[in-house]
Structure 1
Amino acid sequence: MSLKEITQSRKDLLYIDPTKINIKPGWNVRADTEDLRDHIEKLAESIREVGVRVPLTIAMEDGKAYITDGHCRYAACMLLIQRGFEDLKAVPVIVEDRYASEGDRVASMIVRNSGKPLTPIEKAEVYKRLHNLGWEPVQIAAKCTVSLSHVLQLLELSAAPEAVKQLVTAKQVSATEAVKAVKAYGSGATEELQKAIAAEEPASVGEQADQASQKKRTVRKGITIDPVKRKQKAAVELYEALSAALDEWETTNPEVVADEAPRWVNLAREALHKVDGGHSNKQMH
């Protein structure tokens, strides 16, 4: 048996002059940091030696090729060309499915990422774009194969003050601590985080934020809220929201409902049963 008989050619793999590839302004979510520049330098060294091994992904718009995945590889190629490297005449590319939606292309920045992982701030930007396109957090989590809590946390991070996000980008505080601080201190989160950083105790802000947040949830206008009743209410609200989402998705996304609905329903029922003692009359179809 010959090699030709046991292999298949890839009809979707093409080669294109990298100078003919365009970048859509604002598309790439990666922040221009020293860490990213170092990564691109290392990629350039690798490409100089072995070429581009992982194809870039492009989408055709108005007769022009725009990169949708592989910005770091592209930047490394252009860096080599600028430095006079003449052996990089073409790079392998895969063309996006012409029927792919804008959301699918945005999500691909996480789904297809095979290189340097996106930072929390960069992932938050992807989730924010998907949410702005009408995607529910549950849909985002399913598409990007991450937990719902992860998506919700980073959506909150995307809405944080820019000064707070800059602290996360600089790796002075974690995404978790930043979100906790914003929930507890609101517009004063940046100041509290900076105080903790100056004292070299960033984790203490998270602990204080937890305490402040707990106090806000359990004491309002001097009235103490029963924690059990609070959990019951939250579970019922989650259950009802999921039920409403399923009703809508049956029309707009029947495939998602068919594949994921049974698991979501069971999880919601279990959560409701645990906090409600099995006495709820809520029904979900």
Structure 2
Amino acid sequence: MSSLSLIYKDKDKNDTNITTRKTYLLSVDELYVENGYNIREIDQTHVEEFRDAFIAGEHVPPLAVQVTDQGIKIIDGHHRYYGAKLAKEAGHEIRLECKDFVGSEADRIAFMVTSSQGRALEPLERAAAYQRMINQGWEPVEIARKVKRSVADVDHHLQLLTVGDGLIEMVKTGEVAATTAVAMVREHGAQASNVAQQQLEKAKASGKKKLTRAAAMPQFSAARARRLVELLASAETFAHGDSSALELSQQVEFEVLAILEEYRSNQIKEDA
């Protein structure tokens, strides 16, 4: 039976463009983790899944590492590393396949963001990664291109970091979605956190566990707004001192005032 190594060995005869990229097998003790470097929070369940994979002898993708003055630092593969440590503690001899990562600090952060081996990033983790790239001198458009996301996605996540401690904590606990937190700050400014807390308490009182965007930011009926425009569009204007005014029939006036009152009542409910 043939293999890639045999094809490579006789590549001149096999008419192939096959090349190799070296990986290295290291013991767990030869690697180290820099505190605060990983953009992902460690998920213990994910770590244990890798522990079980190592013990079962399953294939685990190689870690990306960087040789530093302190030793061999893990760039990508922290959950695999901690899983291997657990497997070793359980009495198994584990050697981790590793490969060199070549690139700038911003490249390393982008690699952690786009790695298909890590678990999906939480919004705040992605936001922190984008901010680290900003601190490296990258522009949002450059970040978007590097992580294969839109500029709007980058801007949204960077805005998430500015919503304030109260809303950030709600996003962390899953009580408020990241998109809702950003939208509430745009709507309520510095009062967004207080409004969110009040609305969350109401949601919990009604048996819900999280604050939805609809509950956080009730919207005035689009149909009613459209009807108001229709009514005003048919009105005649006339001079009134230094200003101008709209002339409405009594029936139209009653309907316009009713819609305005409905809008005011809706605003009061939002602010309550």
TM-score, with normalisation over the residues of structure 1?
0.65
Query: 1:179: how far off?
Result: 0.6
Which residue matches 2:98?
Answer: 93
Which residue matches 1:6?
Answer: 7
**Which structure is larger by alpha-carbon Rg, 1 or 2?**
2
2:136, 2:53 → 1: CA distance? 37
Cα pair distance change 1:63/1:24, threshold 3 Å: closer
Which protein is richer in helix relative to its size?
1
- Residue deviations 1:21-71 (CA, integer Å, cap 9, x gap): 111121012235xxx222222222222112451001100112610000011
Query: 1:9: how far off?
Result: 7.0
Aligned-pair identity (%) = 26
Query: 1:182: how far off?
Result: 1.9
Which residue matches 1:193?
Answer: 196
Q: What amino acid sits opposite 1:61 in the alignment?
A: T
Q: How does 1:228-243 map onto structure 2 within 5 Å?
A: none
SS at match of 1:199: helix
1:87, 1:148 → 2: CA distance? 45
**Alignment counterpart, residue 26 of structure 1, candidates 11, 36, 53:** 36
Which residue matches 2:76?
Answer: 69
Which residue matches 1:165?
Answer: 168
SS at match of 2:199: helix
Q: How does 1:1-285 map onto structure 2 within 5 Å?
A: 2-3=2-3, 4-7=5-8, 10-32=20-42, 36-51=43-58, 53-62=60-69, 64-82=71-89, 84-88=90-94, 90-97=95-102, 100-200=103-203, 201-204=211-214, 206-208=216-218
2:191, 2:6 → 1: CA distance? 67
**Structure 2 unaligned blocks of 5 or more:** 9-17, 204-210, 222-272
- Residue deviations 1:126-154 (CA, integer Å, cap 9, x gap): 00100111111111110000111111000
Cα pair distance change 1:50/1:187, threshold 3 Å: farther
CA contact (8 A) 1:196 1:202 kept: no
Query: 1:6: how far off?
Result: 2.6
- Residue deviations 1:216-258 (CA, integer Å, cap 9, x gap): xxxxxxxxxxxxxxxxxxxxxxxxxxxxxxxxxxxxxxxxxxx
SS at match of 1:65: strand
2:198, 2:133 → 1: CA distance? 34
User: What is the number of residues matched between the two proteins?
Assistant: 204
Q: Where do 4+ consecutive residues of structure 1 move more than 6 Å? A: none
Cα RMSD of the aligned pairs, angstroms, is 2.4
Cα pair distance change 1:25/1:151, threshold 3 Å: same
**Structure 1 unaligned blocks of 5 or more:** 212-285
CA contact (8 A) 1:52 1:91 kept: no
Which residue matches 2:260?
Answer: none
- Residue deviations 1:180-201 (CA, integer Å, cap 9, x gap): 1122223322222222222224
- Residue deviations 1:75-98 (CA, integer Å, cap 9, x gap): 11112223x32231x11001112x
TM-score, with normalisation over the residues of structure 2?
0.68
